[in-house]
Each structure stands twice: as C-alpha cells, then as structure tokens.
Amino acid sequence: MKVCLVSRLEFKGRDIISIKDFTREEIDYVLKIAGAIEPVAKSGSDMLQRKTLATLFYEPSTRTRLSFEAAMHKLGGSTIGFAEAEIASVKKGENLADTVRVVESYADVIVLRHPLEGAARLAAEFAKVPIINGGSGAEEHPTQALLDLYTILKEKRRIDGLNIALIGDLRYGRTVHSLAYALSLYDVRLHIVSPESLRMRREVLDVIKEKIEVVQQTEIEEILPEMDILYVTRIQKERFPDLAEYAKVKGAYRIDLETLKNVKKDMIILHPLPRVEEIAAEVDETPHARYFQQVWNGIVMRMALLALVLGAIE
Amino acid sequence: MKVCLVSRLEFKGRDIISIKDFTREEIDYVLKIAGAIEPVAKSGSDMLQRKTLATLFYEPSTRTRLSFEAAMHKLGGSTIGFAEAEIASVKKGENLADTVRVVESYADVIVLRHPLEGAARLAAEFAKVPIINGGSGAEEHPTQALLDLYTILKEKRRIDGLNIALIGDLRYGRTVHSLAYALSLYDVRLHIVSPESLRMRREVLDVIKEKIEVVQQTEIEEILPEMDILYVTRIQKERFPDLAEYAKVKGAYRIDLETLKNVKKDMIILHPLPRVEEIAAEVDETPHARYFQQVWNGIVMRMALLALVLGAIE
Amino acid sequence: MKVCLVSRLEFKGRDIISIKDFTREEIDYVLKIAGAIEPVAKSGSDMLQRKTLATLFYEPSTRTRLSFEAAMHKLGGSTIGFAEAEIASVKKGENLADTVRVVESYADVIVLRHPLEGAARLAAEFAKVPIINGGSGAEEHPTQALLDLYTILKEKRRIDGLNIALIGDLRYGRTVHSLAYALSLYDVRLHIVSPESLRMRREVLDVIKEKIEVVQQTEIEEILPEMDILYVTRIQKERFPDLAEYAKVKGAYRIDLETLKNVKKDMIILHPLPRVEEIAAEVDETPHARYFQQVWNGIVMRMALLALVLGAIE
C-alpha cells in the first residue's frame, strides 16, 4: 500500500519497510507502545481477533517467522503463510507484485522476507494491506532494529548518552545496518569494530557519521572498559564469498569470561541470534547476557507493530 | 466418505470431488450461499468454531492452500496440514487410503491436492469426513470452477446468454476442464481458443459439445468484439513435454492494451492465476481486469463450501 | 526445564522425555486423565485458550506433528513451529540449547522431534517451559507408548494379565522400546517376535526381563492362539544398513486373513502406523483391527498431556 501518514504518529495502514522511514519521534512512540503492550504479551488478548497475518518467507528464517506468528496469536489473531519459496507459486514463475495482490485477499497484514533488496518496498507499492519487512537482502531488518532499541531502553532506561559497540560482521549482517541507522537518531557514541574485510559499507557509514560520533576500529580490547552495550553479530558463513577468509576472521571477536574482566558492571551484551561461536556459552550465565531477553522483547515489539498498523491501538 | 445425498440440496457431509457430480440446481444453490456468506468474509464469524480443516497438499499450491486456510479462519475454525509430500509420511511408503483414515481423526474436513487423477475420489471412498478436491492430476479443480462461476455471476448478474472465450492451454490446464464442464450446464456460447498442440482433450470436448454450442479456433482477434468474458490461462511450462514447443506457443495469446481496442466496454478478463506473460501488466489497471477480484471470490466460495459440508448452513 | 515433582502426581511444568521417568502410579493417573478428557476431544474446549504450542520437528513426522497440533486446537490453543530442520535456523549452525531458549519466549510448551538420542532431554535442561519428546533417535517415543496403553485399556478394560506380542522390527523401531518399558510396569506376558537381525537391543531386553516374563522367538504361528494383543511394527527401510537384508525380512511377519484363523475372537491388532505391507488391507475390516482407533486415542492422550503439563488439569 502507499505510505499515507495523516500525522507523523498515525500508524494505521502504514507499511514498515525501512528504519530510515522513521523519525526519532516515531521510534519513541513505537517504543512507548511496546512498553504499554508488554503486559498483554503475558496475558494474551483478543485485540486482533478475526484478523489474519500472512507470513511470506522466500528465505528461511524460523526465528523471525515464529516471532511474528506468536505475536499474532497473543493478540488473538490467526496466521497463514509459507516458509520457503520452493513451495510457493514462485515456482510457477509468478512475480512478487501479483503474489501480494493475491495474498491481500487472504490476510489483513503481510510480513515479507525476501533475498532481494527492495523486495519489501516493491510489495508495499502493490499491496492494499500493510507490508512489514521481515528482512530483505543484506540491507534492512527494521523490526529487529526496533526490538534492539526496545531492549536497550528497557535495560538502561535511556538510549541517549550511551557508549555502544557494534562488533563482528558489519558488512553482510543486515540487522546491524538497520540498527546503526536507528541509533544515529539518538545521542550515542558508536564504536564499530570489525576486521578490514567486514567493514561497514560506505553508504551506511556516511549517513550515520553525519549525525553522530562514530569510531571505527579493528581491535576491541581497549574500548571494552567504557562500553555500555556490546552488540555482537554472527560472522555469516553463507554471505562469505571466500571460505578461507571466513576461517581467518571467525572467532576474532569472540566474547568469553576473559573478555568480560574489564567491563562495566552493568554493561550488557546483545546479539540478534542465532549465534555460533561469537559468544562463549559460559557468558550466558553472567549478568551481562541479555540476548535471550531480546527474543522476548521481539515478540512484544512485533505485537506493538501489528496492533499499530492494523489500527487496534491509536 | 460415501457421497450420501438426502436431497439434491443436502450438502452436509458431502464430498466435493468433481464439478461433474453437480447438477445445475446444486451449482445455483452453492452460488446463492456464496452470495449470502460474502458479508461474513469481511466481518469474520464463529460459524465453524472448534472445527478443524486439514490441508493435505501432495503438490505445492500456495494459492489454493492459503485460500482454504484463510476461509477456515474467517469462519472461526483452525487448520493443520502439510504443504508438500516430502514432509509427509508418504516418504515412509504410506498409501493415501491409510493417510486419510488417520487424518480424519485429526480434522472435521480435508482438502486434498494430489498429482494423480482420481486421488480425491479414492480418498473420499475411505474417509468418514468430507473430502474437498483441491486439484488432482491434470483433470479436476472443482472449487476453482465454482469460484469462476461466482465471479461471472457477480460481475454480469447472470451466466446464461453470455459469450465466453477460454484461451491458452486447454489441454494441460486443469482449471479449464472443470470450468468448461460447469459452463456446459448453462446457456452459454463457448469459444475455445488454443494452438493445435494445446487443444482441449477430446473426452472433455465431446461431453460439453452435447450440451452447448462450442466454437473451436486457433486465432483470437476476430471473436474479440463479441466476447463478454475472456478466460485466459497460463501456458504451463511444467506440463510441457517439449520445451521448444513451449517457447513457440508462449505468448501466442497474450492480452495487452492493443488487444483491448476492439472489445465490449463491459467485457471482463478472468485468469485462475498465477499468470506469467499471458496478460500484460498494463491491463491490470483497465476496467476489464477482474483476476484479482477472483481471488477474493475464491475465499468466499470456499467459505460457502466449508460451511455447507460441515452442516453450518442448511 | 528441570524436572520438579512436588508430588508424584504433580504434572504441571513437567517434561515428558522418557517413559522410564514414569512410575506405574503416574501412568495410571495419565490414563485416567485421558479417559476423562476424551469427551472434550469430541466437543472441543477453551481449556488452553491463549496458550501456544511450538512443534519443533527436526525430522519429518506428519502423524505425530498433526496429532499434537489437533490436540492443541481441540483445547482452544494455538500452534507455531517448523516441520523440517532445513527451514530452521539449524542451517545457520545454531545449537539446540539456544533454539529452545529462543522458542520458550514464543510458546508455553514445546514438542520436539529430533534424529539424535538424548536431544529431548538436553532441550529440557535448558528450557523453562515443558518439553514433550515427540520422538528422539531410535530410542524413545513416550507419548506413543502412552497412547498404546490407553488403547489397550479402552479395548480390554485392563492391562494386567494380558498376553501381548510385539512383532517385527524390535531393533530400530523407537515406539516399541518405549512400549516395552511401559508394559514392564504391568503384570503382562510379553512375546517378542522378530528375525535374528532385528532382535530387541540387549539394554532394553535386560531391563524389562527383570520385571516381567519375556519370551523371545522368531516364529509367530505357534503363539497366535493365546495372544490378546498383536502389536505389529513396520520394518523401517530407512533404518536398515543393508537393503538386501531388508528385502529378506520384509513381509516375514505379515498379518492377513490366513493368519487370523487361529486367534482369540477378541484379540486386537495394534500398529503405530504408517504400515506398509505388515498388515494386509483385508484385515482392516475385521473386528481385530484397532490401528485406526489408536490414532484417535493418540489425540486424546496428547490432549491429556498438554492439559497436565500446562496445569489446566490438577
């Protein structure tokens, strides 16, 4: 559907395509709604009774799909969809524009995951119902960025003024791009830490550098004592052109108990999951670990977004 | 289950296997019920609360599966099922008769999609719950034919007296066989337009020719000005034995703005979807295009059928 | 979650991992609850409204998955999940411990099917919500054993005192191990009948032989007249290291009308399904056949277990 904002805080019928479409005021509003809806995530609700969510996943993503489906169930709605392109009519050569114009008859809102950048925006141009981007290409994953912010706010009670490090694969990881954009709307000091070959893309870096202080580096040790948030990402094997290169950088920024010797007492570690070896299992039991709480916050944030775009919350 | 009709209009417990099992009176009744249930498709209902639909899809078909699932949700019911044979116990060598005798314990109604002709009828012989044929072999797709008729009736307020052209692959397309049978119960003039290699099968043609006037041709231009309905079908690559032949006929009956210069003002274009290149995108915005409305009508028709066979409507 | 029993009959929050974790008193209690909940299986209920079941199936199993999902729907709850590991984040290298710690945010109870022995117990160690083992490795399938017992009790009104034959693949069939353990808690006479190469594993045999009388044999004819229950299992091709060996033993214990000439009038035949050729289709219509009733009893038993571990029944 065409983005059509009556006021900046009107979310009914709105598509959620890119974090870049949000103002800070809008993000703050969404964070507030998530906070208000969190009790409902525990009790359940009939807020979206008789509404249907379609999850169209052209790429496998158990986590994001189940998170949206659980969110919809907790609001009393139902879900339909597919979990991989192979079982879709894609096989028969149908284009995405036709698919969304078909599915909008079946569902009141569509979550789309697609391997191509721009797919969610294209879908939104054709669909009459709201489209939520569940990840497209290597570029955008706006609901992940929003749940990351919600987690930071819940844990720290503020976002402004924090020292935040983004660590690992900053080139291919899609969550980190959306998060960096979102953080650039706040008054944070951002440390971006990666090997040379996995540096954040210039087009992302240029935009956020205009707004906030960004420090780029390849080593992590020296900045650890000042950090409030470590946001660790997986070195994604499947996005690597060269496996030898993958082997080299894997584990370069592994967080373990040794790493945690010189950190602030209330420093927290986030990770979009799944993790592989970037965070040692021994870290899970420390008070720094918050990556499993992030999962819960993801349900809460997605409940908020579904309720907002379907007009169940004003 | 055994077909067991107390009266011709008794649908409770009935299997929906072939359009050939329907009298005109029965089809008219189903069309009337669909019209009556259409408001419920918008508002939702508890009509089938605590009823479960099983979708057993031994062939991928996102569209038909999601349509039935959405219909069931809109009636307040729930759904279970599988979307491809590979993840079914089929892998372990189970036969279809056993599978339906198992699934009838799980569900109140079963929709079956199967690559083999006759599969749905076989299933119905063994199942105690109603079986709805969601497409079997290259032969039958009765619910598609019913939704096509419902679309024609909604758009034209009648079926009798219309000039209807079926265009494209009339040999391998299963929807077109069921539709031709259904139309032969009405007083229509049918034009069947296809390349030589894709002509309608003799056994289908013989039956409908006994009942209505059928004109067979390979060119489309000359009949365009008289037509009330163009029913366009996809040239299905996957059903083609010879790819060179496919390349030759593909696009032979493509509908574009040029094609539409000499048509009746209120002529409408239908298509079972997915389309590939048979209808140019530029046609979508014309008042002739009705193929996306067909999708919505499909939900309505499937709601009517589910409610009927489960006895929620008398 | 950690198994935490307030009393032996407290099931709220309990994991269902192995039949070996159950006392006879506990099994009798579960069988009683299943009997009490059976009417609800027909009428439906809101007992688990706003609760969500996650089905995590790392191995295909249509039957077990649909059975749990149908059970959850009949109790008014909702379901999410995946049906094969390929579409799971497993592909990205995530370990099972992390997956369950993620999914416990999405769901109130998890059913896990996994190719590795011990997987369900590992999952239970990490999850805060109850884990139900839906089959792991070649070893355990506790809910199948419980539904088998429930079927025997319903049909015979007792378990003690019966003559029971387990027939076929006693080495690789996982259901038969769980059932043998369960039966060893009752006063039954067990005949285990298999070819040499498919004999019951020594570690299973040793445990049950300590408790009940077990007769091991390779021929079936001579014991047929005394049996109350024939529990027939599929010779599972996919678990066979050697296909020539498979061809040899397949059909060795096939049950047909000829087999049934010398059996007790009220002898009943059970089978965990899917069957291939172990039971001839002609047997289905005899009063001995109970394997399709077992499927229904499976829903009832899974409803009982879901209601118990979620604390909806005390």
- Residue C295: list chain B partners with CB under 8 A: 101-102, 105-106
pLDDT 10s digits, B82-95:
987 555 445 555 68
Residue C3 falls inside a structural domain: no
Q: Residues, chain C, total?
A: 314
Say if residue B39's pLDDT is above 80.
Answer: yes
Residue B7 falls inside a structural domain: no
Based on the domain organization, do A160 and A289 belong to the same domain? Answer: yes
Residue A230 falls inside a structural domain: yes
Based on the domain organization, do B216 and B119 belong to the same domain? Answer: no
Percent of chain A, pLDDT > 90?
Answer: 74
Based on the domain organization, do B49 and B128 belong to the same domain? Answer: yes
Which region, left, alpha or beta, applies to residue A163 given φ > 0 means left and ψ of -120 to 50 means alpha?
beta
Confidence band (pLDDT; 50, 70, 90) for B164?
Answer: very high
Whole-structure pTM over 0.90, yes or no? yes
Based on the domain organization, do C166 and C287 belong to the same domain? Answer: yes
User: What is the per-residue DSSP string for chain B?
Assistant: -----SSTT--TT--B--GGG--HHHHHHHHHHHHHHHHHHHH---TTTT-EEEEEESS--HHHHHHHHHHHHHTT-EEEEESSGGGSGGGGT--HHHHHHHHHHH-SEEEEEESSTTHHHHHHHH-SS-EEEEEETTTB-HHHHHHHHHHHHHHHS-STT-EEEEES-TTT-HHHHHHHHHHTTSS-EEEEE--GGGPPPHHHHHHHHTTSEEEEES--GGGGGG-SEEEE----GGG-S-HHHHHHHTTTT-B-TTGGGGS-TT-EEE--S--SSSB-GGGGGSTTB-HHHHHHHHHHHHHHHHHHHTTS--
Q: Which residues of B are catalytic?
A: 63-64, 92, 113, 141
C272 shares contact with chain A (CB less than 8 Å): no
Q: State residue C277's pLDDT score.
A: 85
Instruction: Please give the residue of chain A at the shortest CA–CA distance from B73.
Output: A78
Residue A2 falls inside a structural domain: no
Structural tokens at position C243: 């296909």
Based on the domain organization, do B162 and B270 belong to the same domain? Answer: yes
Based on the domain organization, do C147 and C223 belong to the same domain? Answer: yes
Q: pLDDT tens track of chain C, all 314 residues?
A: 443 334 457 899 999 999 999 999 999 999 999 999 999 999 999 999 999 999 999 988 889 999 999 999 999 999 999 987 555 455 555 689 999 999 999 999 999 999 888 999 999 999 999 999 999 876 789 999 999 999 999 999 999 999 999 999 898 877 899 999 999 999 999 999 998 888 999 989 999 999 999 999 988 889 999 999 999 998 777 767 788 877 777 767 889 999 999 999 999 999 999 888 899 999 999 999 999 999 999 999 999 999 999 999 87
- Residue A43: list chain C partners with CB under 8 A: 50
CB C165 within 8 A of CB C191: yes
Q: State residue A85's pLDDT score.
A: 56
| Yes or no, beta carbons of B50 and C61 under 8 Å apart | no
Q: Active site residue: C113, C174, C177, C288, which one?
A: C113
Based on the domain organization, do B258 and B199 belong to the same domain? Answer: yes
| Yes or no, beta carbons of B82 and C67 under 8 Å apart | no
Domain of B31, CATH number, reads: 3.40.50.1370
A286 as an active site residue: the answer is no
Q: State residue C86's pLDDT score.
A: 55
| Yes or no, beta carbons of B92 and C236 under 8 Å apart | yes
Residue B99 falls inside a structural domain: yes
Instruction: Please give the residue of chain A at the shortest CA–CA distance from B42.
Output: A50
| Yes or no, beta carbons of A70 and C106 under 8 Å apart | yes
Say if residue A289's pLDDT is above 80.
Answer: yes
| Yes or no, beta carbons of B87 and C60 under 8 Å apart | yes
At A121, is the secondary structure helix, strand, or coil?
A: helix
- The C-alpha atoms of residue A150 and residue A146 are separated, in whole angstroms, by 6
Based on the domain organization, do C291 and C147 belong to the same domain? Answer: yes
Based on the domain organization, do C169 and C211 belong to the same domain? Answer: yes
Q: In a mutagenesis test of the A interface, which of B58, B64, B66 is the best target, namely the one with the most A β-carbons within 10 Å? A: B66
pLDDT 10s digits, C57-92:
998 888 999 999 999 999 999 999 998 755 545 555
Residue B116 falls inside a structural domain: yes
Query: Residues A287-312, buried b or exposed e (16+ Cβ, 10 A)?
Result: ebbbbbebbbbbbbbbbbbbbbbbeb
Structural tokens at position C123: 């999952």
What count of other Cβ atoms lies within 10 Å of the Cβ of residue B189? 18
Structural domain tally of chain B? 2
What count of other Cβ atoms lies within 10 Å of the Cβ of residue B281? 12
C141 as an active site residue: the answer is yes
pLDDT 10s digits, A162-186:
999 999 989 887 789 999 999 999 9
- The C-alpha atoms of residue A59 and residue A85 are separated, in whole angstroms, by 7
B171 is in which domain, residue-wise? Answer: 142-295
Instruction: Please give the residue of chain A at the shortest CA–CA distance from C49.
Output: A44
A102 shares contact with chain B (CB less than 8 Å): yes
Q: State residue A92's pLDDT score.
A: 54
Radius of gyration of chain B (CA): 19
Which of B49, B92, B105 faces C296 most closely, judged by CB atoms? Answer: B105
The burial of C28, by beta-carbon neighbours within 10 Å (0-12 exposed, 13-18 middle, 19 or more buried), is given as middle
Percent of chain A, pLDDT > 70?
Answer: 92
Q: Where is pLDDT greater, at A221 or B308?
A: B308
Q: Which of C177, C83, C114, C251 is nearest to B91 (CA)?
A: C83
Based on the domain organization, do A99 and A133 belong to the same domain? Answer: yes
- Provide the chain B residues 277-306 that lie in CB contact (below 8 A) with chain A: 281, 292, 295-296, 298-299
Q: State residue C10's pLDDT score.
A: 86
Based on the domain organization, do A100 and A161 belong to the same domain? Answer: no
Distance of CA B312 to the CA centre of its chain: 23
| Yes or no, beta carbons of C98 and A236 under 8 Å apart | no
Residue C167 falls inside a structural domain: yes
- The C-alpha atoms of residue C121 and residue A202 are separated, in whole angstroms, by 47
ipTM of the complex: 0.91
| Yes or no, beta carbons of C83 and B82 under 8 Å apart | yes
For residue C53, what is the enclosing H or E element? strand C52-57
Structural tokens at position B134: 């969601």
Residue B58 falls inside a structural domain: yes
Structural tokens at position B296: 């919505």
Based on the domain organization, do C99 and C130 belong to the same domain? Answer: yes
| Pairing mode, strands B131-136 and C213-217 | unpaired
C113 as an active site residue: the answer is yes
A80 shares contact with chain B (CB less than 8 Å): yes
Q: Which of C179, C254, C172, C267 is nearest to C221 (CA)?
A: C254
